[in-house]
Chains A and B, each alone.
Chain A
Amino acid sequence: MNLSIEQVGKRYRGDFWGLRDFTLNLGPGVLGLLGPNGAGKSTLMRILATITRPTEGRVLWNGEDIAKTPDGLRSVLGYLPQDFGVYPNLNAVEFLEYIAAVKGIDGRAARQRIDELLALVNLTEARKRPLGGYSGGMRQRIGIAQALLNDPKLLIVDEPTVGLDPEERVRFRNLLSDLGGERIVLLSTHIVSDVEATATDIAVVDRGRLLAHAEPEALLSGVEGRVWEWVLPSAELPAARERWKISSTFRRADGVHVRVVSAVPPSPDAVPVAPTLEDAYLSVLEGHRAERLEKVA
């Protein structure tokens, strides 16, 4: 089972490239795709889900170009788009039966699968209610259920935890970790903690380009010894913000606790702390942006 993305690019109107020269090779596991808004994550997801054709490059699923033979991938694909709709007059079971039929799943197997999926996403009790009356979180869970209907070998989920309550979010993270063992799961999000909890690999994307692809441990080791924390009086925070790339702040009785990614200690009082994935992600982004600015200069 292999998904190979080879120098893929997508150009939109006005000569704007949503994705450029993107290369990545994936095997079973959960790939967390991290990047700021507009980085090109959703473009990549849509290309992999055979919704959008790349302008250049190719994507191979087990050696087959998905632009030429999309159905080979589609029969084993589960896709949860960032924005999607449902038919408001159908209930959950009817809607999933409809999607199952379109995906080519045998009727009896589909019914059993739907029962399991509705239990999994905690919608068994709401199964007979029209989807038009569902809350945003419930609708998102229907989206998750439809993506898993055909027991996909490639599962693509774009911002899947949007609208979910904390309990459902944790449950979905666990589910993704379970699923990742025997299939390829692509999780696109800008919520670093979701990736931290599930991903076996991480790809950082910005401005349509792949900045880093590594295991979480490798990313973390890249910032080992470069994350600092110290306490500032509130009045000095604006000056510190201008000087350092601050990854987080929190106020305490003794002042503002500031966390910074930096090669050198930002203050004599600063102490090194264990890095988080968020620190590593920000470090990759900042490193790349600084490099780009240097090139421009």
Chain B
Amino acid sequence: MSAPRVVVRMVWHLLRADFLERVRRYSFLVTLAATVWLGYLVGTGKLQLWIGTVRGTFNSAWIATTMALVVNTFLSLAGFYIVKNAVDRDRQTGVGQILATTRMSKPLYTLGKALSNLAVLGSMIGVLVVAAMVVQLVAGEDRRIDLLQILMPFVLLSLPMMALAAAAAVLFETIPGLRGGFGNVVWFIVWTALIPLGIQVGGLLDPFGINLVNGNLERAAAMAFGPAKRGFVLGGIDHGNDPIQIMRWEGLDWTPDLLFTRLLWVLVAAGIALAAALFFDRFDPAQNRIGSRAAKKRLARANGAVEEAEPSFVPVPAVRLTPLPEASRRFRFLDVLRAELRLLLNGRRWWWWAGAAGFLIATLAAPLDAVQKIVLPLAWMWPMLLWSSLGAREIRFDTTALLFSAARPLGRQLPATWLAGVALAMLTGGGAAVRFLAARQWDSLGAWVVGALFIPTLALALGLWSGSGKLFEVIYLVIWYIGPLNQVPAIDYTGATAAGLASGMPLVFLGMTALLMGAAVAGRRWQLAG
């Protein structure tokens, strides 16, 4: 077989095997269901494109473009997290060790994984293509299905963005520091920075295509209803008494310039996927390019341990075990709690403690208003990657058999895990509680208590049911960004907004905490039942 054919065959099978492995999991069905739900939101007008009060007739071009932009904004975030496990799966399953011994080159591997990621995201887009047609027929404003107008926005707007997310996911997985939860935070920051940049600057800095569509729609609206200052909105919006204006829009005019800007992002994605090969360790555990001097020392010591692990013969004196007295078999909850806390905080480097201490001091010293609105939310973002291990740690490190064969795992270890998470919240946000107490702000103090209970409970429940910390990291990042940070009262779980406090949001979150705790207990019960 010729060399190019061998390469194509390798990439194809890498893509195929990885794709099949993913789509045959139940979690993929959940992902598809969430995609259908996105389509439903568009169909019911809850997610809609608006140019001021102007929207387009529900024809093929309008619905497909709306859905393509929904894909680009929401799926570029969620999709990244969904597919950011392709390399890790090979690492965890040991398949990577087998692949590493083949002739497959690093760039081929990273490219194959990026293509597999794109195939997964593409299958979700495929669901939305069908959904777009269904929505158009159900809406009934224009029942003529124009297949080209349906496909063009998905192919030319969405696929390049998805290719970018797919390639970035592989890049993040190959860089040691970005593999885990920290990488999830970094992508969230990149995503929140790219959206406004794309909208404002556009052109070659607009991978989402929002500026592209916005400019075209603004011109179409001006032609239909005259020039006016309108705004671009993708979401649900209440126009009050303003009359809704409907224009006929036949889609973007795909000029060579436009095609080039979209193609450019595909090339950038391919470049990112190939660049990932530079960081890819080819499943060699001995490689650790990033890390502190202490981490490298630890690794060197560990490697030393491996080298000296199997001596040919080491005479060891016979040891007899002292029988354990019956009196020593008494369970102490505090011992387990201490052990869980140590497990939670183990391995934190000095900078983590310095950051936590900094937030504690800031909550004690900053003006009370700033503590409530900024410092406390930030202080409760700091331990996010520690909370994300709650509930998922046993699956991730395969210690379930050891822990679940101990007495009362549901009544002892689970509450201790949860309380360790609560203690962490109280520790990092403790300064704020002291301030609220001193200022006799009882409602704020109540909200603080609810927040300290809510966050670890959310982490525990999501960790238990998903078997990974990623779901918590993504959901917590989003609600933290929208709620406390952007002051949206309905998602304010820390008491950062006066409106949230006044409308009794802490009570709502207390109720949610109880529900999540129920879910966590049910999840552990389900795990114990095998």
Interface residues of A (CB under 8 A from B): 46, 49-53, 71, 74-75, 77, 79, 81, 83-90, 94, 97-99, 101-110, 112-113, 116-117, 119-120, 122, 126, 129-130, 132-135, 137-138, 146, 148, 150-151, 165, 167, 171, 178
A49, A98, A105, A178 — most chain B CB neighbours (10 Å): A98
Query: In the assembly, what is the distance between CA of A74 and CA of B401, in Å?
Result: 12
The 6 closest A-B pairs by CB, nearest first: A133-B302, A85-B398, A109-B328, A104-B331, A151-B324, A135-B309
A102-B403, A151-B321 as given contacts; A135 in contact with B306, CB under 8 Å: yes
Q: Would you call A101 and B336 a contact (CB within 8 A)? A: yes
* A71: min CB distance to chain B, Å: 4
Complex alpha-carbon distance, A84 and B301, angstroms: 23
Q: For the complex, give the distance between the alpha carbons of A234 and B529 in Å.
A: 54
Partner of A150, one of B329, B340, B401: B329
In the assembled complex, the Cα of A46 lies from the Cα of B298 at a distance in Å of 36
Q: Contacts A104-B407, A135-B306 known; A87 to B327 CB distance under 8 Å?
A: no
Q: Which residue of B lies closest to A178 (CB)?
A: B320
Q: A116-B319, A150-B324 are in contact. Are A103 and B343 (CB under 8 A)?
A: no
Q: How far is the CA of A113 from the CA of B329 in the complex (A)?
A: 12
Given known A-B contacts A79-B401, A148-B321, A102 and B336 have beta carbons under 8 A apart? yes
A119-B309 Cα distance, complex, nearest whole Å? 15
Do the beta carbons of B322 and A116 come within 8 Å of each other? yes
List A contacts of B305 (CB < 8 A).
126, 129, 133-135, 138
> Could you jot down 22 A-B contacts, CB within 8 Å?
A52-B530, A75-B329, A84-B399, A85-B398, A87-B393, A98-B343, A99-B402, A99-B403, A101-B335, A102-B413, A104-B331, A107-B335, A109-B324, A109-B325, A113-B321, A119-B316, A129-B301, A129-B302, A133-B301, A135-B306, A137-B310, A167-B313
Instruction: With both chains docked as a complex, state the minimum distance between the C-beta of B93 and any C-beta of chain A, in angstroms.
Output: 13
Contact partners of A109 in chain B: CB under 8 A? 324-325, 328
Give A132 to B300 CA distance when docked, in angstroms. 12
Report which of A74, A98, A119, A130 forms a contact with B298, defined as CB distance below 8 A: A130
Q: Chain A CB within 10 Å — which of B314, B319, B331, B529 has the most? A: B319
Task: Tell me which of B302, B306, B339 contacts A98 (CB under 8 A).
Answer: B339
Flag if B402 contacts A146 (CB, 8 Å): yes
Residues of A within 8 A of B309 (CB): 134-135, 137-138
B441 within 8 A of A: no
Minimal Cβ-Cβ distance residue in B for A82? B401
Closest to B323 in A: A151
| Interface, chain B (partner A; CB < 8 A) | 298-299, 301-303, 305-306, 309-310, 313-314, 316, 319-325, 327-332, 335-336, 338-340, 342-343, 346-347, 393, 397-409, 412-413, 529-530
Q: Closest approach, in angstroms, between the C-beta of B164 and any C-beta of chain A?
A: 33
CB neighbours (8 Å) of A52 from chain B are: 530
Known: A94-B346, A109-B325. A103 touches B406 (CB 8 A): yes
B346 in complex: contacting residue of A89, A110, A146, CB < 8 Å:
A89
How many angstroms between the C-alpha atoms of A13 and B449 in the bound complex? Answer: 45
**A81-B401, A133-B306, A165-B310 are contacts. A116–B407 as well, Cβ < 8 Å?**
no
B346 in contact with A102 (CB, 8 Å): no
In angstroms, Cα B315 to Cα A171, docked, is 11
Select which of B316, B329, B398, B407 is within 8 A of A84 by beta carbon: B398
**Minimal Cβ-Cβ distance residue in A for B348:** A89
| Residues from chain B with Cβ under 8 Å of A119 in the complex | 316, 319
Q: List residues of chain B with CB within 8 A of the CB of A150.
A: 324, 329
A132 with B302: CB separation less than 8 A: yes
Contacts A99-B402, A133-B305 supplied; 13 other A-B pairs, CB < 8 Å: A51-B404, A53-B529, A98-B342, A98-B343, A109-B328, A113-B324, A133-B301, A133-B306, A135-B305, A135-B309, A137-B309, A146-B402, A151-B323
Please give the distance in Å from B330's CB to the nearest CB on chain A: 6
Instruction: Say which residue of A77, A97, A106 sits within 8 Å of B329 (CB atoms).
Output: A106
The chain A residue sitting closest to B408, CB to CB, is A71
What are the residues of chain B within 8 A of A101 when measuring CB–CB?
332, 335-336, 338-339
Beta-carbon contact of A104 and B330 below 8 Å = yes
Q: Give Cα A112 to B338, complex, Å.
A: 18
A172 to B: closest C-beta gap in Å: 12
Per the bound structure, the CA–CA distance linking A104 and B332 in Å amounts to 6
Check if A50 sits within 8 Å of B399, measured CB to CB: no
- Give the CA-CA distance A120 to B402 in the complex, in Å: 20
Which B residues are in CB contact (< 8 Å) with A112? 322
A102 lies within 8 A of B412 (CB):
yes
Q: B397 to chain A: which residues have CB within 8 Å? A: 85-88
Give the residues in chain A near B404, CB-CB below 8 Å: 50-51
How many whole Å from A200's CB to the nearest CB in chain B?
Answer: 19
Residues of B within 8 A of A108 (CB): 328
- Which B residues touch A81, using CB under 8 A? 401-402
Within the complex, the shortest CB–CB distance from A180 to chain B, in Å, comes to: 13
Report Cα–Cα, A103/B335, bound state, in Å.
10
Complex contacts, B529 vs chain A, CB 8 Å: 53
Complex Cα gap A17–B102 (Å):
38
**Contacts A51-B404, A98-B339, A137-B309: A105 and B399 contacting too (C-beta < 8 A)?**
no
Contact of A90 with B346 at beta-carbon distance under 8 Å, contacts A79-B402, A112-B322, A133-B305 already known: yes
Contacts of A135 in B (CB 8 A): 305-306, 309-310
> Is B321 touching A94 in the complex (CB atoms < 8 A)?
no
A246 to B338, CA, bound (A): 57
Contacts of B306 in A (CB 8 A): 133-135
**Which residues of the other chain, A, contact B313 by a CB distance below 8 angstroms?**
167
Tell me the nearest residue of chain B to A165, going by C-beta.
B310
Contact call B319/A83, Cβ cutoff below 8 A: no
Closest approach, in angstroms, between the C-beta of B298 and any C-beta of chain A? Answer: 6
Contacts of B324 in A (CB 8 A): 105, 109, 113, 150-151
Bound together, the chains give a CA A98 to CA B342 distance in angstroms of 9
Query: What separation, in Å, do the CA atoms of A111 and B186 have in the docked complex?
Result: 42
Q: A126 to chain B: which residues have CB within 8 Å?
A: 305
Q: How far is the CB of B152 from chain A (nearest CB, A)?
A: 44
Instruction: Note all chain B residues with C-beta closer than 8 A to A122.
Output: 314, 316
The CA of A104 and the CA of B325, in the complex, are separated in Å by 13
- B405's contact among A53, A77, A86, A171, by CB below 8 Å, is which? A77
Q: Determine which of A53, A103, A167 lies in contact with B314 in the assembled complex, contact meaning CB atoms within 8 Å.
A: A167
Q: Which residues of B contact A89 (CB under 8 A)?
A: 346-347
Docked pose: A109 CA to B339 CA in angstroms: 16
Given contacts A126-B305, A135-B306, contact A94 B342 (CB under 8 A): yes
> Bound complex: CA of A117 vs CA of B397, how far in Å?
22
Do residues B346 and A104 form an inter-chain contact, with CB atoms below 8 A? no
- Cα A101 to Cα B340 in complex, Å, equals 9
Which B residues are in CB contact (< 8 Å) with A71? 407-408
Residues of chain B lying within 8 A (CB to CB) of residue A77: 405
- Give the docked Cα–Cα distance between A163 and B418 (Å): 35
How distant is the Cα of A105 from the Cα of B332 in the complex, in angstroms? 8
Chain B min CB distance to A216 (Å):
25
